[in-house]
Amino acid sequence: MPVAPADVRKIARKALDVRETLPKSRQAGTLVGLARANQLAKGEDVSLQTLLRMRSYLLRARENYRNAKSQGKTAENSKAIQAYMLWGSTPGLRWAQRQITKLTK
């Protein structure tokens, strides 16, 4: 099974770190999102089923992420950005898609 590349691991770790500094009311992420961020940040193997879930989430959340970014927001002041980063952000989406293509040939 593939392991997330360094840039995706770094993004997930940063999201977890930012989240820890914020009050509960400003923390983003479901239990699944937090599990994914920890999995990515630790460089654990990622199954095809998880890659498919990553792609699905990141595609659904992409517009909210882009809207927040276009307003000049950051992970520190946007739950949308914070949550997107927990799943690996745009590099995570690209990586998941490449892995899905490889694994389903």
pLDDT one-digit tens code per residue, 1-46: 899 999 999 999 999 999 999 999 999 999 999 999 999 999 999 9
pLDDT value of residue 58: 98
Domain-located, residue 27? yes
Containing domain of residue 91, as a range? 6-103
Q: What is the pTM of this model?
A: 0.95
User: Taking each helix axis from N to C terminus, what angle separates 31-41 and 6-21, rounded to the nearest 10 degrees?
Assistant: 130
- Report if residue 60 sits inside a domain: yes
Asked if residue 10 belongs to a domain, the reply is: yes
Q: Is residue 1 part of a domain?
A: no
86 contact partners, CB below 8 Å, separation of at least 6: 12, 15, 16, 19, 28, 29, 33, 34, 36, 37
Q: Does 71 score more than 90 pLDDT?
A: yes
Q: How many domains does the chain have?
A: 1
Q: 3 - beta bridge partners?
A: 45
Counted residue by residue, the chain has a size of: 105
Q: How far apart are CA 6 and CA 77, in angstroms?
A: 25
26 lies in some domain: yes
Q: What is the pLDDT of residue 85?
A: 98
